[in-house]
Amino acid sequence: MKSRTRILLAVLATLVGGFSLVLYNTLSRDIIFSGLNFCSSSDIELIMAGLSTFASATIAGFITSLIVVRDNNWPHFLISLFIVAKMSFIIIHLQSSGPVWFEAALQLSLLGGLWFGRYSASKFPLAPV
């Protein structure tokens, strides 16, 4: 594969993976579990929202890995950098609706799900070589 094609696929995968992560995360946290708050939500709602956040990141990581070839991790690194920057911004600047560890755990769930999606796509039998 040529270098230009590889770079184009990496950029495309980063954009598609980032947008799908935002879309699925918004769908799971703001639409399905609207008004999620650590203080007022039940334990079951918090657990289900955490699992849906992990699942949305897994789907985004899987989609990103299917766009690029298996040995290209740049899109995942760039999306992870975006998640870490978002987590830092939330922790430093914004008043969150719950404790800091809760918001940090949700963002770490996104990171873990993204890389789990990459791992599962590499084990997927129909993935590009």
- pLDDT tens column, 38-97: 788 888 988 998 899 999 999 999 999 888 876 788 999 999 999 999 888 887 877 666
- pLDDT tens column, 13-54: 999 999 999 999 888 888 888 877 778 888 898 899 889 999
Is residue 106 a contact partner of residue 53, using CB atoms and an 8 Å limit?
A: yes
| Ramachandran category for residue 114: left, alpha or beta (phi over 0 → left; psi -120 to 50 → alpha) | alpha
- Between residues 99 and 26, the one the model is more confident about: 26
Domain borders along the chain are 3-123
The mean pLDDT value of the chain amounts to: 86
d(CA 77, CA 75): 5
